[in-house]
């Protein structure tokens, strides 16, 4: 004989047995209620009920005896219920209960497989769905979706069935997934991903997808997670009538999105048409990756026409060729598959070092700079010759041609690379190049990437045309950006290192970098040496008769200046740190980066939108 006691103070709701009834282990014998919740009391083993002590409705204290029962097999008394017996008596777990089935049915309209017409229309445009892009970006089965059951706030205009079928997720797929987990592990690979769904109300910004966006932006800031935004869409949606608002200008989305600037890497991917509010979010991103068929602008055709500015087709507003040339688009790619690959590549630089890498052919650098000092060459070959094979990711290639910028790895360590471009204005730094280089320094500084500068410049661009472009202010951005660097900066002078432009490319001055070295082809001066001779020796030159004598004196003086400004002489006077074999450049950079150590991640440094 054993006694079954009340496990807590409770009210007896209903007996499930009577005296004399046989029971199996795990059978419910009585239901108790406490704090509005029902508790099942089960038989701990097989037996027969002999006596019940309370009537339904009675209040029992914890530990009070509820009933007596005799054992069928006294030698098999168990203190715990036979859980396998309980499981065998329950419903088949492979068949969803009604409540689970309702949840599964409710999710069904959000899935591409259940929206064949919308998906087919999307594919007919040569574009992918939001979920296809997310599946390609995130590691398999890693994406956890937030807010999938939202629908457009239009219940006053449309039926619930219509909204569920035609406005799934309110046109915005949001969640957290892993990107590059195989390289960096589960913790460093986590990222917030948000994708406007162009198959739902043209990817417009509804009130509920604003709420979803705000939720994800808060998580990204709180958890310090990178953010990838697929930004395609038409901006604000005027048809959401459920919300008691007039203009909706109080929404926090844009301020919240901008607050991530300098805190976490933020990437925007643009395909198709991206206008108005969607474009504003893209413009707040660190980088914009766009397809060749994309259009990006602060106002779509309806807004332009409404402003009395003319009638245009969407394809005429902000085409990718225009936005790439003017610097809005950082990375231009053929299609969405390439865009996703570029986004994954970009994020990898902010996820840490990689163990496996391949060095390029170092010997090729020895022949890169022509022996003829007047002959141009492509410094992008120097960037490729220093970076780990396959790691180089050029940024803003259509804009600011005077300076190349790229992310790369050196022995697996992510770095920022910038290089003068002697094929454009002889390497002179104009306003666009200065803006591009200054913002690139801010980007690397904010996210903890060491900077490497490859210098070959005659200085800042000068002349009336240059000054009409606000040259004084634009080029000075380089000095200000460099003055606020907290990351290591290393510089290598490949050939020309003249004037203020060379100082700007070396973090403000030749002794500002962690080291500043030159290849044997390096040449230096406070200004271009030919010009320096013409200005500084004007009287001496004019004292010679025009013709061979004056030309000979000029050539002699220029030669002397080149000798004085040679890399070897600059190193001898300690104005630079060393003259190195170009083939040893990677060795120098690796040792310099090792000496610099880890960069503290303190956050809070803004990156200009421009």
- What are 39-57's pLDDT values in tens digits? 999 999 899 999 999 999 9
Report yes or no: 235 and 201 within 8 Å, Cβ to Cβ: no
Closest CA to 50 of 90, 18, 98, 86: 18
Name the burial class of residue 315, with classes exposed (0-12), middle (13-18) and buried (19+) by CB atoms within 10 angstroms of its CB.
exposed
pLDDT of residue 587: 97
Average pLDDT of the residues of the chain = 91
- Do 232 and 293 reside in the same domain of the chain? yes
DSSP sequence for 434-452: HHHHHHHHHHHHHHT-EEE
pLDDT of residue 602: 60
Q: Give the three-state DSSP class for 27.
A: coil
- Do 220 and 328 reside in the same domain of the chain? yes
Among all chains, which residue has been given the structure tokens 């280089």?
A: 437
Residue 83 reports pLDDT greater than 60: no
pLDDT of residue 80: 40
pLDDT of residue 396: 98
Residue 28: pLDDT band by 50, 70, 90 thresholds? very high
Q: Which residue has the higher pLDDT, 144 or 597?
A: 144
Helix (H) or strand (E) holding 500: helix 499-504
Instruction: With respect to residue 268, please indicate whether it lies within any of the assigned structural domains.
Output: yes
Q: Which two tokens stand for residue 250?
A: 């109080």
pLDDT of residue 73: 65
Q: Which two tokens stand for residue 582?
A: 């170009």
Residue 77 reports pLDDT greater than 70: no
pLDDT of residue 600: 65
- Do 271 and 220 reside in the same domain of the chain? yes
Q: Summarize the confidence of residues 360-389 as an average pLDDT.
A: 96
- What is the spatial distance between Cα 495 and Cα 51, in angstroms, rounded to a whole number? 102
What is the largest distance, in Å, between two alpha-carbon atoms of the chain?
A: 134
pLDDT of residue 466: 93
Q: What is the DSSP letter of 74?
A: G
- Do 134 and 220 reside in the same domain of the chain? yes
Instruction: With respect to residue 247, please indicate whether it lies within any of the assigned structural domains.
Output: yes
Q: Summarize the confidence of residues 103-132 as an average pLDDT.
A: 94
- Do 72 and 172 reside in the same domain of the chain? no
Instruction: With respect to residue 357, please indicate whether it lies within any of the assigned structural domains.
Output: no
pLDDT of residue 454: 98
- Do 126 and 190 reside in the same domain of the chain? yes
- Do 192 and 299 reside in the same domain of the chain? yes
Instruction: With respect to residue 386, please indicate whether it lies within any of the assigned structural domains.
Output: yes
DSSP sequence for 312-372: --GGGSSBHHHHHHTTS-SEEESSHHHHHHHHHHHHHTTT---S------GGGGGGTS-SS
Residue 186 reports pLDDT greater than 60: yes
pLDDT of residue 539: 84
Non-local (6+) Cβ contacts of 182 within 8 A are 139
Non-local (6+) Cβ contacts of 78 within 8 A are 25, 44, 45
Residue 74: pLDDT band by 50, 70, 90 thresholds? low
Please write the tens of the pLDDT for every residue from 197-242: 999 999 998 889 999 999 999 999 999 999 999 999 988 888 888 7
Q: Which domain holds residue 71?
A: 2-90
- Do 325 and 423 reside in the same domain of the chain? no
- What is the spatial distance between Cα 397 and Cα 335, in angstroms, rounded to a whole number? 17
Name the burial class of residue 275, with classes exposed (0-12), middle (13-18) and buried (19+) by CB atoms within 10 angstroms of its CB.
buried
Residue 601 reports pLDDT greater than 70: no
Please write the tens of the pLDDT for every residue from 479-522: 999 999 999 999 999 999 999 999 999 999 999 999 999 999 99
Residue 598 reports pLDDT greater than 80: no
Closest CA to 589 of 449, 411, 418: 411
Closest CA to 347 of 267, 269, 442, 406: 267
pLDDT of residue 591: 96
Specify the number of domains making up the chain.
4
Report yes or no: 340 and 177 within 8 Å, Cβ to Cβ: no
Q: Summarize the confidence of residues 59-86 as an average pLDDT.
A: 69
Report yes or no: 380 and 419 within 8 Å, Cβ to Cβ: yes
Please write the tens of the pLDDT for every residue from 121-165: 999 999 999 999 999 999 999 999 999 999 988 888 899 888 999
Beta strands in 197-292 (DSSP E): 227-230, 266-270, 273-275, 287-291
The residue out of 31, 55, 90 marking a domain boundary is 90
- Do 461 and 538 reside in the same domain of the chain? no
Instruction: With respect to residue 293, please indicate whether it lies within any of the assigned structural domains.
Output: yes
Residue 84 reports pLDDT greater than 50: no
| 6 φψ region: left (φ > 0), alpha (ψ -120 to 50), beta (else) | beta
pLDDT of residue 547: 87
- Do 446 and 533 reside in the same domain of the chain? no
The residue out of 313, 348, 383 marking a domain boundary is 348
Q: Summarize the confidence of residues 571-587 as an average pLDDT.
A: 97
pLDDT of residue 79: 36
Q: Phi, psi at residue 136, to the nearest 5°?
A: -75, -35
- Do 473 and 577 reside in the same domain of the chain? yes
Instruction: With respect to residue 207, please indicate whether it lies within any of the assigned structural domains.
Output: yes
Q: Summarize the confidence of residues 86-100 as an average pLDDT.
A: 71
pLDDT of residue 565: 84
Q: Which CATH number is 442's domain given?
A: 3.90.226.10
The residue out of 294, 324, 348 marking a domain boundary is 348
- What is the spatial distance between Cα 10 and Cα 61, in angstroms, rounded to a whole number? 7
- Do 544 and 573 reside in the same domain of the chain? no
pLDDT of residue 81: 41
Residue 118 reports pLDDT greater than 50: yes
Residue 397 reports pLDDT greater than 90: yes
Report yes or no: 205 and 195 within 8 Å, Cβ to Cβ: no
Q: Alpha-carbon torsion 508, 512, 518, 524, what sign?
A: positive
Instruction: With respect to residue 336, please indicate whether it lies within any of the assigned structural domains.
Output: yes
Instruction: With respect to residue 138, please indicate whether it lies within any of the assigned structural domains.
Output: yes
Please write the tens of the pLDDT for every residue from 297-321: 999 888 888 888 999 999 999 999 9
């Amino acid at each position: 004989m054993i006694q079954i006691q009340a496990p807590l103070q409770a009210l007896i709701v209903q007996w499930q047995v009577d005296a004399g009834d046989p029971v199996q282990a795990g059978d419910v014998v009585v239901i108790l209620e406490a704090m509005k919740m029902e508790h099942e009391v089960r038989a701990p083993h097989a037996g027969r009920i002999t006596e019940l002590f309370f009537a339904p409705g009675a209040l029992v204290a914890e530990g009070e005896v509820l009933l007596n029962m005799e054992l069928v097999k006294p030698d098999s008394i168990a203190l715990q219920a036979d859980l396998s017996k309980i499981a065998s008596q329950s419903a088949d777990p492979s068949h969803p209960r009604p409540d689970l089935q309702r949840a599964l049915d409710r999710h069904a309209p959000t899935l591409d497989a259940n929206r064949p017409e919308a998906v087919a229309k999307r594919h007919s445009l040569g574009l992918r769905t939001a979920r296809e892009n997310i599946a390609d970006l995130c590691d398999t089965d890693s994406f956890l979706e937030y807010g999938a059951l939202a629908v457009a706030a239009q219940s006053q205009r449309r039926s619930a069935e219509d909204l569920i079928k035609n406005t799934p997720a309110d046109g915005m797929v949001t969640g957290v997934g892993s990107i590059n987990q195989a390289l960096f592990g589960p913790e460093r690979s986590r990222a917030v991903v948000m994708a406007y769904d162009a198959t739902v109300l043209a990817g417009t910004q509804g009130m509920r997808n604003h709420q979803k966006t705000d939720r994800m932006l808060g998580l990204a800031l709180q958890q310090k997670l990178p953010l990838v935004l697929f930004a395609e869409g038409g901006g604000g949606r005027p048809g959401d009538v459920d919300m008691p608002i007039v203009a909706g200008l109080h929404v926090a989305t844009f301020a919240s999105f901008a607050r991530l600037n300098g805190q976490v890497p933020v990437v925007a991917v643009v395909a198709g048409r991206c206008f108005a509010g969607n474009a504003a979010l893209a413009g707040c991103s660190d980088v914009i990756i766009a397809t060749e068929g994309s259009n990006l602008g602060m106002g779509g055709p309806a807004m332009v026409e409404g402003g009395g500015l003319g009638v245009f087709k969407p394809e005429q507003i902000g085409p990718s060729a225009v936005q790439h040339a003017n610097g809005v688009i950082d990375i231009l790619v053929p299609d969405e598959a390439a865009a996703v690959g570029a986004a994954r590549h970009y994020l990898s630089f902010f996820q840490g070092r990689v163990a496996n890498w391949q060095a390029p052919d170092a010997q090729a650098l020895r022949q890169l700079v022509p022996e003829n000092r007047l002959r141009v060459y492509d410094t992008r070959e120097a960037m490729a010759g220093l970076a780990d094979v396959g790691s180089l990711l050029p940024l803003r290639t259509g804009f600011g041609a005077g300076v190349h910028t790229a992310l790369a790895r050196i022995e697996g360590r992510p770095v920022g690379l910038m290089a003068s471009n002697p094929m454009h204005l002889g390497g002179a730094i104009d306003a666009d190049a200065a803006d591009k280089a200054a913002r690139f320094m801010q980007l690397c500084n904010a996210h903890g990437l060491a900077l490497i500068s490859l210098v070959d410049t005659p200085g800042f661009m000068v002349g009336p045309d240059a000054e009409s472009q606000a040259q004084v202010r634009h080029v000075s951005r380089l000095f200000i950006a460099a003055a606020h660097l907290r990351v290591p900066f290393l510089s290598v002078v490949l050939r020309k290192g003249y004037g203020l432009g060379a100082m700007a490319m070396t973090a403000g001055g030749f002794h500002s970098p962690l080291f500043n070295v030159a290849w044997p082809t390096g040449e230096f001066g406070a200004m271009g040496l030919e010009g320096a001779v013409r200005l500084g020796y004007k009287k001496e030159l004019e004292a010679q008769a025009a013709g061979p004598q004056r030309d000979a004196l000029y050539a002699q003086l220029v030669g002397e200046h080149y000798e004085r400004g040679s890399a070897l002489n600059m190193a001898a006077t300690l104005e630079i740190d060393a003259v190195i074999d170009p083939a040893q450049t990677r060795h120098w950079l690796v040792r310099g980066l090792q000496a610099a150590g880890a960069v503290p991640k303190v956050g809070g440094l803004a990156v200009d939108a421009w």
